[in-house]
Structure 1
């Protein structure tokens, strides 16, 4: 409590009738309601008359101990529907009484910088701003449904209970304060939750370095900073979740370095920052990142070096350019065919990225979908082929066409079957002549063709007969094709063994 000699002298005769009602109600903890009807809006407070007007200096004097004391009662300032004129200056004050100024209109921004308060409730009030940096609150800070034109400065505040901002409208800041973020929560410590559903901020919501014991709720919030940073939450730490269902962000959502052990849930969020980065969540540690049922994000997405246990993203949500180098995830949802996931990897701003394909294949293996994992590996090799010199590209194309880089072994069997039928028919209709008449074995078109195609198998047919004319050229084709199939199949098998 501030020393008594710093509290201005205040006599009951100096008070207006409205102030006297508050003076008498405070020591008993009773509330004073100046509203004509419960529907009165604080937005009209500038026009309220003297019967609803309180001087800020009177409220300060009451809170700092000038008022009477009633034994056996718990004092508290509980006012609804008042017009508060002057500057409510509570800087560095230590106040043990709850302060509830609901549906009030403030002429000047309250100053509670460095104060220690039991509870501060300003719900449904209209303020030109709030200066409360390094504020300490033991129970709760409520700014629900407030209309605040100037910046809300809560940097470094510590709140043992919760911070409530649901339905509040903050900003835009103007004049000398135009460059300030309207809502400044950087480095706050909130032991329970920040509840900010339906919040509207005309400018930046700054949460970088904040530490929240429970969750941050931004469901249906509107963060409007076109071309700038809508949500600046670098190194944010929460105890459970960051919820942002249907959040609308115009400008970058920056979660770089955040720690969110539960869900970062942006289901149906509307993210847009054309020409820039719409979502930056690099170097994060997140339990579950949900981009479920989102429209296509307008702007880049950067998830580099982040670790996510579950990544839930619909393919249509990815923008034209993404950055996922070093992104690690264990599970990918919803489970879709690999063909629907692969186009996103082609949007990587760094170009071909081996790690991205390996990570996607690993996620399919975790889900037990080996076929999809092989499809991803095949796509990786095809994409890699385009980065190689011309000769290497030709060899890669040959492996792809013949055996699908070893991921499509039945394709080689198909080629062999087709060639075997071709050779068997051709040589069966017009058998080649024997090299040594009387010594050659009986001619068999099928095994003669196999002898030509398969280098490591010999049935004694190839060396005993000599084709002529176009049959000779066919034999050359079968020999060369057999060697190519054998080589590419061996390369594919070797690659498969290396993966295992």
Structure 2
């Protein structure tokens, strides 16, 4: 393109480029670029002119060239596909009539802050510095799949997708799947009307989605399967309508959903299955609407208040070292009743282990007792009878004092009954003096013998009482032995 064919606005940009100077077409700093379609020729620049500048623009000795433009209306397609650009590109508060095509391009810095675009095609883009999409409004898909950015990606305050659309678009509005970001993905306050895809992405630093609003009702609001993050994922006060999916993610530090509002009625609202992270926080989050799936996830610390859990959970093989806040076991156990798969032994064992780690042995025993009672529901009727008997007598070995109470009560009943109506001796000349206390104890304790049971023979209903005491004694002895065995096995 010959320089003589440039418009006055384009000539300003052409002359500023080799000096690295900026050209500001804005009438005021708070001007809204959404009105850019009405901007006249005095601030209109053809994308073809920018392409020539970036790929083969003039240079001047001793100066660092660069494209710095504010408030321009860019017409035509900015096509830098597979191009190598050695200059910083800053197109701020601009209005793009067509979607730029930067597929496979190599850039030093790309800044599109506050700009309005119909979309952005930049798959496998290489940026040696930072990529800035701060406060952009992009109605079409932002395609950054496979992009490599050595620095950070900034999308704070940006709006992706069409807010006027009645249904979420089929294509994700932000695509960073398999992208490689050297430092951070910084996107607090981001608004997305459609799916955000981060599958297989690698972020060397942290991801920040604080105060973000993601809307994809009935679909994926955030799809980040097998995501890898070097430090933390901060999503405090995140508001998500749709599934938040972090299956198989690897997060070096904290996964923080504090104060978040997650909702996907009739579906999975939060899926963190097979995820590995240092900590996961749902502190003071709103009650989740939809299913929570934490199967096979691993955390050192899990902070989830009981009221946050939804009516249906999937917790099979969820592993955690500490469960916060520390609450009585009675407040945690109802959550395990909501397991979609039914009775899951591992969930009870994990909860009991967390209480033991915290030094709360009483709560751990309560959880173990609840586990056995829950398991009892899955047994056939005859096994349920035996289970109820163990529960009533010794609490499956977790309440051993119950057996002592039963024995004491039976001992008192028998001693009083036989004191009032002593049984006749079998051999009056050989029988020892009758002692109602030790006679009853002889009947109850099948192992210990005091010589009373074999020397006397009760009659009538007292004989039936003696049979009852013998049977009860054997039963209590068996259940006590079972409970002691289970207790020793736990230790």
Does the pair score TM above 0.5? yes
Once structures 1 and 2 are overlaid, which stretch shifts more, 70-79 or 111-120? 70-79
Q: Distance in 2 between matches of 1:79 and 1:424?
A: 102
Q: Distance in 2 between matches of 1:407 and 1:178?
A: 56
Partner of 2:486: 495
Q: Distance in 1 between matches of 2:363 and 2:390?
A: 20
Q: Which of residues 44, 61, 76 in structure 1 aligns to 2:66? A: 76
Q: Give runs of aligned pairs for residues 341-360 of structure 1, distance below 5 A.
A: 341-360=332-351
Q: Distance in 1 between matches of 2:222 and 2:281?
A: 17
3-state SS of the aligned residue for 2:56? coil
TM-score (structure 2 length as normaliser) = 0.96
Once structures 1 and 2 are overlaid, which stretch shifts more, 346-355 or 406-415? 346-355
Partner of 2:2: 10
Q: Displacement, 1:54? A: 1.6
Is 1:168 the counterpart of 2:158? The answer is yes
Partner of 2:411: 420
Q: Distance in 1 between matches of 2:313 and 2:140?
A: 36
Partner of 2:14: 23
Partner of 2:235: 244
Is contact 2:302–2:322 with CA below 8 Å preserved after alignment?
Answer: yes
Partner of 1:215: 206
Q: Which of residues 136, 145, 155 in structure 2 aligns to 1:155? A: 145
Partner of 1:335: 326
Once structures 1 and 2 are overlaid, which stretch shifts more, 396-405 or 36-45? 36-45
Q: Displacement, 1:273? A: 1.2
Q: Distance in 1 between matches of 2:22 and 2:433?
A: 115
Is 1:91 the counterpart of 2:90? The answer is no
Partner of 1:55: 46
Is contact 1:10–1:61 with CA below 8 Å preserved after alignment?
Answer: no
Is 1:484 the counterpart of 2:455? The answer is no
Partner of 1:6: none
3-state SS of the aligned residue for 2:414? helix
Unmatched tracts of structure 2, length 5 or more: none
Is 1:364 the counterpart of 2:355? The answer is yes
Is contact 1:42–1:125 with CA below 8 Å preserved after alignment?
Answer: yes
Q: Displacement, 1:469? A: 3.3
Partner of 2:94: 104
Partner of 1:287: 278
Q: Give runs of aligned pairs for residues 384-423 of structure 1, distance below 5 A.
A: 384-423=375-414
Q: Displacement, 1:178? A: 4.2
Is 1:137 the counterpart of 2:127? The answer is yes
3-state SS of the aligned residue for 2:17? helix
Q: Displacement, 1:346? A: 1.4
**1:291-324 superposed Cα distances (whole Å, 9 cap, x missing partner):** 2222221111222222222221111222222222
3-state SS of the aligned residue for 2:476? helix
Is 1:260 the counterpart of 2:216? The answer is no
Partner of 1:3: none
Is contact 1:214–1:241 with CA below 8 Å preserved after alignment?
Answer: yes
Q: Distance in 1 between matches of 2:343 and 2:412?
A: 41
Partner of 1:231: 222
Q: Displacement, 1:65? A: 2.5
TM-score (structure 1 length as normaliser) = 0.94
Q: Distance in 2 between matches of 1:96 and 1:41?
A: 30
Q: Which of residues 117, 142, 153 in structure 2 aligns to 1:127? A: 117
Q: Distance in 2 between matches of 1:471 and 1:300?
A: 60
Is contact 2:18–2:57 with CA below 8 Å preserved after alignment?
Answer: no
**1:475-496 superposed Cα distances (whole Å, 9 cap, x missing partner):** 2222221111101001111112
Q: Distance in 1 between matches of 2:317 and 2:219?
A: 26
Q: Distance in 2 between matches of 1:217 and 1:101?
A: 24
User: Aligned pair count?
Assistant: 489
Partner of 1:382: 373
Partner of 1:5: none
Q: Displacement, 1:254? A: 1.2
Is contact 1:154–1:186 with CA below 8 Å preserved after alignment?
Answer: yes
Is 1:434 the counterpart of 2:425? The answer is yes
Compute the RMSD of aligned alpha carbons. Answer: 1.7
Q: Distance in 2 between matches of 1:106 and 1:31?
A: 18
